[in-house]
Amino acid sequence: IYLLRGEERFGRTDDNEERGVQIFCTERPRFPLTSLLAMAKAPRKVAIIHPDLGIGGAERLIVDAAVALASHGNIVHVFTAHHDKSRCFEETVSDQVSAIIPLLKLKRSTKIVFYCHFPDLLLAKHTTFLRRIYRKPINMIEEATTGMSDLILVNSRFTAATFANTFRHLRSRGLKPAVLYPSVNVEQFDGPCSYELNFLSINRFERKKNIELAISAFAMLRSSKGCGPSGLDFAKVTLTIAGGFDKRLPENVEYLEELKRLAKIEGVSDQVNFVTSCPTAERNALLSKCVCVIYTPKDEHFGIVPLEAMAAQKAVIACNSGGPTETIKHGITGFLCDPTSLEFSQAMYKLASDPEMAARMGKQARSHVVQTFSTEVFGEQLNRYVSDVYHMRMD
């Protein structure tokens, strides 16, 4: 259909006149043809809302989502309540809080894609009667407002199952979240790769990360119980514990001291190095040289560290629960173990005593991440979800 020149009663036939098609502009059009064509080709405007854009798996996903959507031609803005330029991802120099959704819905044309990293009500403390009373209405609001989204995404099948068990009213309405795995920028790990006798743990210094397991398992390498008949010279092996650290947070400060005391009690303090809040370049350098990565959280919602490790051609030793069971191929790209010092130390010994195995599993890990968890795969899937919601063509 052509809108011709904007005259109020201007009519003419187009090139299809012989087929009986006649185009009329019976009144002045609201937009000229050039504007309509521009609107049809105009990029979508996407707003991403996240409360605290610091350093962590959820924040890494926010940055990756913004970059991926922008690369597909969308205009992306990220809104946050806190952004510390001294403690953030370089790309920054969506939201876990669903209560803002009704405000966004005041504009009916706005479409809401809610990415649930993990239900907030399960992350909040319910330790006292007063806390439980306080959280009751908030939990109800969270479920109600989450259900107002046009599409709900989660980061793993583990989180999807937790979501269904937590928000039972939404489940009864037939609302099921779709799984969209976070990604890793594989290209940043294209540098040289070696397998030095250094185990690497990367986590925020929080008790829920269970970092003490890495220290206890490392100490057990000295015993035949942990290693078996050994040609491994334990004196040449080290453990590096790196991760996000904020001195403003009492737990970070206290937990770091607890870990240092544990290393001293275990008699390995001279072989355990602590690196707090290392920048991306230093983290990548540590990944490029370690023999493998030790990932100790139990029932982790997803876990971005195993992806980064595998992208750096390093096998991962992790707990056999939560997100890592969906990202690590046991015996191929790493080992999934019960969260005990014995099982972790046995897996650590296998890789430290056999460099060829460590290299072979590392290459398989890299290939696995490229095929399934690259930013390109993530970007295409996310852009497709956003496009479908935008055009209301959801299955």
Quickly list DSSP for 85-142.
Answer: TTSS-GGG---S-GGGHHHHTTSTT---EEEESS-HHHHS---SHHHHHHHHHHHHHH
Residue 111 has pLDDT above 60, yes or no: yes
Lowest mean pLDDT among 46-55, 158-167, 322-331: 46-55
Q: Which domain holds residue 275?
A: 186-373
Q: 197 and 168 in one domain?
A: no
- Whether residue 395 is contained in a domain is answered as no
> Is the predicted pLDDT of residue 7 greater than 70, yes or no?
no
- Answer yes or no: do 19 and 121 share one domain: no
**161 lies in some domain:** yes
Is the domain of 150 the same as that of 178? yes
Q: Are residues 154 and 230 in the same domain?
A: no
Is residue 203 located within the same domain as residue 259? yes
Residues 37 and 179 occupy one common structural domain: no
Say if residue 238 is in the same domain as residue 160. Answer: no
d(CA 90, CA 83): 12
Model pTM above 0.85: no
The CATH number for 338's domain is 3.40.50.2000
Q: Average pLDDT, stretch 147-164? A: 86
Q: Is 160 among the domain residues?
A: yes
Of residues 215 and 64, the one with the higher pLDDT is 215
Task: Report yes or no on 4 lying in a domain.
Answer: no
pLDDT level of residue 107 (50, 70, 90 thresholds): low
Give φ, ψ of 332 to 5 degrees: -120, -55
**282 and 331 belong to one structural domain:** yes
For the chain, how many structural domains are there in total?
A: 3
